[in-house]
């Protein structure tokens, strides 16, 4: 047993959707969330920059004594995970691999940030476990700012969904929401497809992976009480607290601003 916290990080607030899923099945664990809101979005930045940001945040989380780190960011998972996973002593889980293992469809669409799509990480990982699948990918760069700015229930969001996803109508069986911000748009996307395409929420597969890892390595928190949650952000704590409610129905013990 290990009562240290689970650390999670994302470019902004999207990773809170991962935190919410993990907390739903592991309510007694303690959590430390890091949202790099001053540098969001990651999707338009270079691989080298994202790796450096990830190293900085992982080092910070390790300084807080975490027992496991979740890269709760599709872009950092695709561009930084392979580099950082062997650079630190703490186990690191990404959001891509658990999802790729779980997809059984033959015609799979993947939507994510520009940087993630350029990396081809999703296609490579899916084909590793489903070699006969036909995988098509599309960058949706407007989705993260739409979600971060609270524009989900607007015509702007509807127009962006139509712009990016019209080519997927009748062409895929499953659509992977390959960025942790995208589940906030899942109802609108599902409505756009009239519920006829299976939407793959990467947060659910990641949460199951975290549970399995803690179980197999005997790292569960043995407390019978609900765990605590602390958040760190690189920008305004007031804005973080206000916007976090859209992503996660969670109550943070503290929200602190830090500089890396």
Q: Are residues 116 and 53 in the same domain?
A: no
Per-residue confidence of the chain (260 residues) as pLDDT tens digits?
889 999 999 999 999 999 999 999 999 999 999 999 999 989 889 999 999 999 999 999 999 999 999 999 999 999 999 999 999 999 999 999 999 999 999 999 999 999 999 999 999 999 999 999 999 999 999 999 999 888 999 999 999 999 999 999 989 999 999 999 999 999 999 999 999 999 999 999 999 999 999 999 999 999 989 999 999 999 999 999 988 888 887 789 999 999 99
Under 8 Å between Cβ of 199 and 186:
yes
Of 202, 223, 243, which one is at a domain's C-terminal end?
Answer: 202
**Residues classed as catalytic:** 73, 179
Q: Are residues 102 and 198 in the same domain?
A: yes
Q: Are residues 105 and 178 in the same domain?
A: yes
Residue 148 has what pLDDT? 84
The percent of the chain in helix, strand and coil, each rounded to the nearest 5, is 45, 20, 40
CA count, 13 A, side-chain hemisphere, 158: 5
Q: Are residues 164 and 40 in the same domain?
A: no
**In-domain check, residue 1:** no
Q: Are residues 181 and 214 in the same domain?
A: no
Q: Are residues 196 and 233 in the same domain?
A: no
How far apart CA 241 and CA 231 sit, in angstroms, is 9
Residue 248 has what pLDDT? 85
CA distances from 6 to 33, 34, 69, 193, 260 (A): 8, 11, 6, 36, 20
Q: What is the CATH number of the domain that holds 132?
A: 3.40.50.1860
Residue 246 has what pLDDT? 81
Residue 165 has what pLDDT? 97
Residue 150 has what pLDDT? 87
Convert the pLDDT of each residue in 156-215 to its tens digit.
999 999 999 999 998 999 999 999 999 999 999 999 999 999 999 999 999 999 999 999
Q: Are residues 106 and 198 in the same domain?
A: yes
Specify the number of domains making up the chain.
2
At residue 91, the 3 state secondary structure works out as coil
Q: Are residues 65 and 139 in the same domain?
A: no
**In-domain check, residue 46:** yes
Q: Are residues 39 and 111 in the same domain?
A: no
Task: Give residue 144's domain range.
Answer: 97-202
Residue 249 has what pLDDT? 78
């Amino acid at each position: 047993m290990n009562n240290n916290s689970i650390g999670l990080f994302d470019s902004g607030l999207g990773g809170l959707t991962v935190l919410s899923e993990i907390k739903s099945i592991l309510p007694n664990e303690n959590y430390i969330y890091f949202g790099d809101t001053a540098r969001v979005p990651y999707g338009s930045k270079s691989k080298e920059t994202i790796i450096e940001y990830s190293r900085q945040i992982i080092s910070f989380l390790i300084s807080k004594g975490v027992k496991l780190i979740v890269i709760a960011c599709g872009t950092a998972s695709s561009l930084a995970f392979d580099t950082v996973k062997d650079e630190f002593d703490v186990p690191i889980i990404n959001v891509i691999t658990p999802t790729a293992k779980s997809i059984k469809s033959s015609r799979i669409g993947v939507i994510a940030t520009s940087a993630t799509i350029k990396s081809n990480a999703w296609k490579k990982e899916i084909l590793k476990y489903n070699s006969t699948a036909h995988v098509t990918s599309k960058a949706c760069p407007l989705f993260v700012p739409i979600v971060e700015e609270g524009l989900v229930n607007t015509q702007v969001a509807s127009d962006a969904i139509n712009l990016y996803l019209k080519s997927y109508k009748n062409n895929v069986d499953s659509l992977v929401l390959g960025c942790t911000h995208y589940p906030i748009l899942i109802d609108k996307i599902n409505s756009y497809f009239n519920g006829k395409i299976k939407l793959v929420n990467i947060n659910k597969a990641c949460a199951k992976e975290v549970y399995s890892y803690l179980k197999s390595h005997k790292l569960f928190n043995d407390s019978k009480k609900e765990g605590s949650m602390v958040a760190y952000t690189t920008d305004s704590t007031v804005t973080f607290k206000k916007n976090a409610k859209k992503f996660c129905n969670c109550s943070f013990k503290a929200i602190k601003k830090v500089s890396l």
